[in-house]
Amino acid sequence: MFTYKRLLKASTLAACGVAMLVSTAQEQVKLGQTISEASLAEFDLIAEPGGMGFPPGSGTARQGRTIFESRCALCHGNNGEGNSAATVLVGGNMQSTDSPLRTVGSYWPYASTVFDFIRRAMPANAPKSLTDEETYQVAAYVLYLNGLVAEDEIMNAQSLPQVRMPNAEGFIDQSHIQ
C-alpha cells in the first residue's frame, strides 16, 4: 500500500542520494584553494591607460640608463636598436609602404603599456625581478630613447600615463562591436 509515510521515506532517501553524489563530485573535482592576497599581487599587475593600477614610486630616464645597460642592453642594445626584429625598441615607421617596423615609439598607443609590459615580462631572462622604482626608471628610459620624455622628467603614476604616444590615433575602436 502506498502511504504518505512511505513517499516521505522514499524522497528522503533520494535526497540523501543526490547529496552523496554532490559531495563525492566535490571531493573528486578538487577545485583547489582560495588564492592568498600575497600570491594574487604577483598576477594582479594591470596598469591601465587611465592611470589605474600603477604602484607608488617614480623614476627618471637618467636613473634608468644604468639599469637598462646592465639588465636590458644584452637583448635590446644600448640604445634600443635591438638584436632582432622583436627586440627593436626605438624608431620604426607605421606609414611605411613596406612592412612597417613596430616599436614602442612607432606603434604602441599608450605609455601605460610600456610600464605594464616591463613590470610583468621583462627582463625576459628574469621577469618580475625589477622593483617598482626600477620599473619606473627603465620605462622612463625606453620613452626617452624614443624622444617622448626628457632625461630628467619624473615618471610616476600620474605623469607616465599622460605621455602622448605618436601612434595614439593609429587604432580603430571596435569595442562597440559585440
Residue 7 binds ligand HEC (CB under 6 A): no
Q: Which of 122, 143, 157, 160 binds ligand HEC (CB under 6 A)?
A: 122
Q: Does 118 bind ligand HEC (CB under 6 A)?
A: yes
Kindly state whether residue 150 participates in binding ligand HEC, applying the rule CB under 6 A. Answer: no
Cell of residue 84, nine digits:
632582432
Of 150, 146, 157, residue with least CA distance to 58: 157
Q: In the window 53-92, what residues touch ligand HEC (CB under 6 A)?
A: 71-72, 74-76, 86-87, 89
138 binds ligand HEC (CB under 6 A): yes
Residue 126: Cβ-neighbour burial (10 angstroms; 0-12, 13-18, 19+) = exposed
Q: Which of 119, 116, 99 is nearest to 108 (CA)?
A: 116
| CB distance 77 to 69 below 8 Å | no
| 105 contributes a contact to ligand HEC by CB under 6 A | no
CA–CA dist 4, 138 (Å, integer)? 77
Binding site for ligand HEC (CB under 6 A): 71-72, 74-76, 86-87, 89, 102-104, 114, 117-118, 122-125, 130, 138, 142
